[in-house]
Amino acid sequence: SNIILEEFLFKKSQQKRRTSPCNYKERYFILRKDELAYYEYRHAKKPTLKGSIELSRIKCVEIVRSDVHIPCSFKYPFQVVHDNYCLYVFAPDKDTQQKWVWALKEETKNNNLLNKYHPNFWVDGRWRCCSQTEKLAAGCVEYDP
């Protein structure tokens, strides 16, 4: 199989529309050679694919450094920046967070990557790192792939 990593993690809704809800869901993540996919698992049911990101579209993968309250049981966030979106994923511990970030960086190191990124969350209409109020505003810290 071409599976690199697989595990239950939490994710925040990507809020692709201005009206999208802000919620956190437990998903089964699978990192494959060509994509990062997440599935919903429900007891005795076939897992359903909820989303996938082609690895070639990823522009930055990094730990999120923040003191904001995280309203799910997994407290170690990392970000996957792709297209014009940012997927926030939450790991149960530091080792798991580090393992996923490292593997995703490794698989995307030859991509067209960002020079700069946002080390903190986008919340309540602004970046907590640099206070910019435009979601697509250029990053404020050098990205080290």
- Alpha-carbon torsion angle 111, 134, 9, 22, nearest 10: -150
Is residue 98 a contact point for ligand 4IP (CB under 6 A)? no
Considering the complex, state which of residue 14 and residue 98 has its C-beta at the smaller distance from ligand 4IP. Answer: 14
Q: In which residue are the tokens 């694919």 written?
A: 49
Binder among 9, 27, 36, 89 for ligand 4IP (CB under 6 A): 27
d(CA 112, CA 144): 13
What percent of the residues of the chain are helix, what percent strand, and what percent coil, each to the nearest 5? Answer: 10, 40, 45
Q: Binding string, 28-67, against ligand 4IP, x = CB under 6 A?
A: ----------x-----------xx----------------
Contact set with ligand 4IP (CB under 6 A):
11, 13-17, 20-21, 23, 25, 27, 38, 50-51
